[in-house]
Amino acid sequence: MKSCLYECHVMHARFAPRVHRFVYRIFLFALDLDELSDLDRRLRLFSVERRNLYSFRDRDYLPTDAPTGASLKQRVLDHVAKAGVATGGMRVLLITLPRVAGYLFNPVSFYFCISADGTPVAAMPEVTNTFKEMKPFLLGPQTLLPDGRFHLRVPKHFYVSPFSDVDVAFDFQLRLPVERLSIQIDDYVGDERTLTSTLSGRQRPLTDGRLAWLTLVYPLITLKIISLIHWQAFRL
């Protein structure tokens, strides 16, 4: 199984309009979209398209104009193919937090498209705001640096926070996760960096035992995330 978990630190450091920094811990699922049915059969605490403590529902991700019934993997590959990327034999790894006790909120999920020989080909952050609006940002093969990072600075044109204008730029630096997860997203106004966010974590096995333990350590984690967002906004 290529699917796993990552136990992570999230760090946000804001430089404008005022200096503000915080760190908190979460965990995330790394789901190989070809393994969903196997995970559904193997795990008691995780289900696909049905209720459970942790439940994955295809419709929660990447709404597109694809034909009704197209799987999430197919929607991702269709989106990537529109940028001229050959998608034959490609795997898709999704870094996300599925529904927890029926409740869903992901500030950002990440898709990594991987060729049959294990080479990273494309990455796609899917940003979600507190109004549940989603926007994907595609990082194609041309954004892959020699050190293995995908890097792209792109205008946001999307409401994320009342403390950031919609016309600032996202600067994405994403590395295909293996033993460790390493992601950085910065906000830029012109050449000035106004915010940096990092997500770093260590790989854990995706088992019922590990899920039970992480549930005790991070109870109702989706509610924790949305509560922290509003708490930090209140402090600002």
pLDDT at 30 over 80: yes
pLDDT at 231 over 50: no
How many CB atoms are closer than 10 A to CB 26?
Answer: 19
Report the percent of the chain where pLDDT is more than 90: 60
Question: Could you check whether the bond before residue 162 is cis, i.e. omega within 30 degrees of 0?
Answer: no
> pLDDT tens across 101-125, in order?
888 878 899 999 999 889 999 999 9
Nearest to 220 by CA among 96, 133, 61, 105: 105
CA distance 193 to 170: 10
Choose between 43 and 88: higher pLDDT. 43
> pLDDT tens across 167-197, in order?
689 999 999 999 999 999 999 988 899 899 9
Whole-structure pTM value? 0.89
